[in-house]
Chain A
Amino acid sequence: MFDLEQAIAEWRRQMLAAGIKSPVPLEELELHLREEIEQQMKAGLGEQEAFELAAQRTGRAAALKKEFKKIGRLDWEWLRKLKSILFGATEVPFPSLDDFAPSARQTLEIAPEEARRFHHDFIGTEHILLGIIKSQPQAIASLMQKLGVTSDAVRLEIEKFVGTSPAHAVAAKIPFTPRARQALQLAINEAKALNQPVVRAEHLFLGLLREGGGVAALVLKNLGVRIETTREEILREMRPDPGAG
């Protein structure tokens, strides 16, 4: 016995499998299918023939996908842009840490501990910044001194900014936020741009600053830290001592 609703549900599954995912086009297509079925049945066809004819007319799943892709590309680009404005760059993959100095990797191990301290279920830019301060006290303290801020001021400002979540069990492995991943990628880019083969805590600091929209960047900006000055200071630090050469 032919079941129309079941046939339509199966048709929907095929469409979904073909990649017509956004709820609106699929819903609209289904309504179209139902209109066509109704018309065919009015013209005297049985339910099953009406369905088969309508499904055929509405277009094969693969062909439809191609059509939707043409506009999809534009919409996706736009959506991605909107998403990155609203939530940070969501499409950023976790970068490879191959070029990270052992000390910088250690920083990334401390970051989740910092997140846990606030009962946060994610590792954000602020946790990385706290990790840097904790794991690289000397290098960063001297950089910050030149930039006119202290580690304590940064720590206080972050705590003021994010607040502690209510105590609850936090999973053993927590993810980096899109902004945090973006900051890691920017740290790698910064090291490359400065012609420095190894990514160190200073580059991470610069990456956080460059990311621009995360808590770390906001806190640092609030404290008057500027990207250009930071970059110059890091470069100066790296340059061979002019007196020695």
Chain B
Amino acid sequence: MIRKELVAASAEPLVLSLLAKGESYGYAIIQEVKARSEGKLNWTDGMLYPVLHRMEHRGLIKSRWGESETGRKRKYYSLKKDGKLAMQKHHEHWTLVHDVLSGLKKEKYV
């Protein structure tokens, strides 16, 4: 079980990185994160929307109403310029944490 603080902290970089591939909507974003983490990052479905709204409010992403193949309304989100910059920052920071962690691990076992 991944701690909820970590799940919360990783939501924004994950959403930004997913949207960097192209626009998407809430349900699909959740499904993809679930699939890519082999079910380990399982966001309570409804929790994503406040995150999306907050990011839209901050100008990182934008939204538009569209339609599914079956004609159902869908709200699509896509990355804005500031979102791309924010994503790059997130990647820097997470890479840094990852490098420090793996460096320490290596020293211990080599």
Contacts and interface: CB of A to CB of B under 8 A. Distances in A.
B75 interface: yes
Contacts of A63: 44, 46
Interface in B40-91: 44-47, 49-50, 53-54, 57, 68, 70, 72-75
Interface of A: 24-25, 27-29, 31-32, 34-36, 38, 57-59, 63-64, 67-68, 70-71, 74-75
Specify the main secondary structure of chain A where it touches its partner: helix
Given A31-B73, A32-B26, A71 B50 contact: yes
Given A28-B26, A70-B50, A75 B57 contact: yes
B9 to A, nearest CB: 14
Top 10 nearest A-B pairs (CB, nearest first) are A59-B46, A35-B27, A67-B50, A71-B54, A58-B46, A64-B46, A59-B44, A57-B45, A58-B45, A71-B50
Given A34-B72, A71-B57, A29 B27 contact: no
B27 A71 contact: no
29 contacts: A24-B53, A25-B50, A25-B53, A28-B26, A28-B49, A29-B46, A31-B27, A31-B72, A31-B74, A32-B27, A32-B45, A35-B72, A38-B70, A57-B44, A57-B45, A58-B45, A59-B45, A59-B47, A63-B46, A64-B47, A67-B47, A67-B50, A68-B49, A70-B50, A70-B54, A71-B50, A71-B54, A74-B57, A75-B57
